[in-house]
Amino acid sequence: MRPYIALCAAGLLAALLTGCSGLPASTEELLEAPQLSPDQAALADALARGLGTEDFTLKYPVSGENRTAYILCNLDDEEGNEAVAFYSLGEEETIRMNILDQTADGQWESVYDMAGAGDDVNTVDFAPISRQDRNDLIISWRDRGSTELDVEIYSYEGGLLSNLFSGTGDRIYFMDINSDGYSEMVLLGWASSRDPSIQIVRRAGSRVIARDETILNSRAIDFTGLTLGRTLDGDTALYVDELISSSSAATDVVVLNGFQMDVVTAEDPAAEDGELSDEESESLYDQTIRPADLICRDLDGDGIVEIPSSQLLPGYSSSGEDETIYRVDYRALSDGELVDSYSTVSNEEMGYTFLLPDSWVDTVTIRRVTETNEWQFYPYTEDETVTGPVLLSIKVSSHQDYEDKFSTAVYFPLATRGIFEYTASIPTADHPLSITEEEVRSRFLLN
């Protein structure tokens, strides 16, 4: 068991100005327009002057963190922010994009205008892909009736917007894969063969390029996440979480050698042709299959990403689904195999996770005490009439909860969040499976 443990300088203007306010895309359909602050009004006036008309309708990105009318970010090497706005003219539905910049005396003016590359703006992001000292502007556009995104990377300098890259994908992620200060963009989507695929878009000298698409497992029908981390062997890897049905997920592990991609979970063609036995044909990919809500994660913060699986705790059965408690086991990739890392139980309702000691796996189970919001851990016996001693109790309470004045249990604090206090007690300290207060603290994690 191992122990637990957009460079966007947006100004804080007000709801319509900030690039992180999360204003809903339906704002343009409000019956009454919101009152503009002086800063917002200055941008609106500058856009109207640049367009030569006030007959325009602002458009909003429909997804992502930046979903406001005027999105602020520093796009060049000068001090101060630029603003990005999307709009349509008059009765037209065509979306256009406008860049507004500030003059030496601080006045806003429209400096660049162009037609959009789709019917809707899906996301707007900022990342230092081509230069370390500035952000590039990354926009994903969507045509109505299509699930595929058109992804464009733009560089802004001296009032001009240059297109650095055009591509397609369904999911977009930004990360510094090789820790050199530049961001890479990872695109998950569907290749021309309609197979699921992955691309890495990155800086190469003075250009921004993409590696050829690398095909992922053909059973994937959608993507649910992407995590950058390491394997136990120390290799850098991308962990692609995929839906393979409405209720099941699996993971493709893409090991990186520089930017060369090796899908180590790729299935053996002989297995697909039925030339291997059932045991021989179970691929590494098959071993990652689990319920759809479980995703890969680096739970203990050591940089190594683990792949989850789940099973019922001893004493529970799937027939009582509403009352069941599952154990989630995490495994890491080592030399082409998945090896056990740690096991956890998670109280989603109360918002915490507990890492089980190795000696508790398959030997300890949990009972709920709903009256006091407690989980009690005790040794499991197949004879349900025999109740073992309580090894640990984790309790969640607030200042408003009733306290039993006659309780003899001694609780020690674990964490607080808002009005809630997380505490624990160790009723039995002399059992062979007992653990210490220090161990409890080190294994407790807020979700």
CA separation (Å) from 392 to 77, 350, 406, 445? 57, 16, 19, 15
Distance CA 210, CA 373 (A): 52
Q: How many CA atoms lie within 13 A of 320 on its CB side?
A: 9
Q: What is the pLDDT, as a whole number, of residue 11?
A: 37
pTM of the model: 0.84
Distance CA 66, CA 138 (A): 11
Q: What is the pLDDT, as a whole number, of residue 397?
A: 92
Of 291, 420, 425, the closest CA to residue 352 belongs to 420
Q: What is the pLDDT, as a whole number, of residue 12?
A: 32
Percent of the chain with pLDDT over 70: 84
Looking at every residue in the chain, the average pLDDT score rounds to 87
Q: What is the pLDDT, as a whole number, of residue 300?
A: 85
Q: Mapping DSSP to helix (H, G, I), strand (E, B) and coil, where does residue 36 land?
A: coil
Mean pLDDT of 328-351: 96
Distance CA 390, CA 173 (A): 45
| Strand intervals (E) in 93-246 | 96-102, 108-115, 120-127, 136-142, 149-157, 160-169, 171-175, 184-190, 196-204, 207-210, 214-215, 222-230, 236-243
**pLDDT > 70? residue 278:** no
**What are the CB-based long-range contacts (under 8 Å, 24+) for 182-186?**
182/128, 182/129, 182/132, 183/127, 183/128, 183/129, 184/129, 184/259, 185/127, 185/129, 185/138, 185/151, 185/153, 186/226, 186/238
Q: Cβ of 196: how many Cβ atoms within 10 Å?
A: 24
Distance CA 233, CA 222 (A): 29
Q: What is the pLDDT, as a whole number, of residue 403?
A: 61
Backbone angles phi, psi at 160, to 5 degrees: -115, 145
**pLDDT > 50? residue 248:** yes
Q: What is the amino acid identity at position 224? A: T
Convert the pLDDT of each residue in 187-220 to its tens digit. 999 988 889 999 999 999 889 999 889 999 999 9
Structural contact between residues 120 and 141, judged by C-beta atoms closer than 8 angstroms? yes
Convert the pLDDT of each residue in 408-432 to its tens digit. 568 999 999 999 999 999 999 999 9
Convert the pLDDT of each residue in 428-439 to its tens digit. 999 999 999 999
Q: What is the pLDDT, as a whole number, of residue 386?
A: 59
109 DSSP β-pair partners: 101
**pLDDT > 60? residue 257:** yes
For residue 292, with 0-12 CB atoms within 10 Å meaning exposed, 13-18 middle and 19 or more buried, which class applies?
middle
Q: What is the amino acid identity at position 405? A: K
Mean pLDDT of 341-350: 95
Mean pLDDT of 164-182: 95
Pick from 110-119, 265-274, 363-372, 416-425: least confident: 265-274
72 DSSP β-pair partners: 83
**pLDDT > 90? residue 385:** no
Convert the pLDDT of each residue in 294-331 to its tens digit. 999 998 889 999 999 999 999 898 766 668 999 999 99
Q: What is the pLDDT, as a whole number, of residue 3?
A: 40
Of 408, 407, 417, 374, the closest CA to residue 392 belongs to 374
Mean pLDDT of 4-15: 36
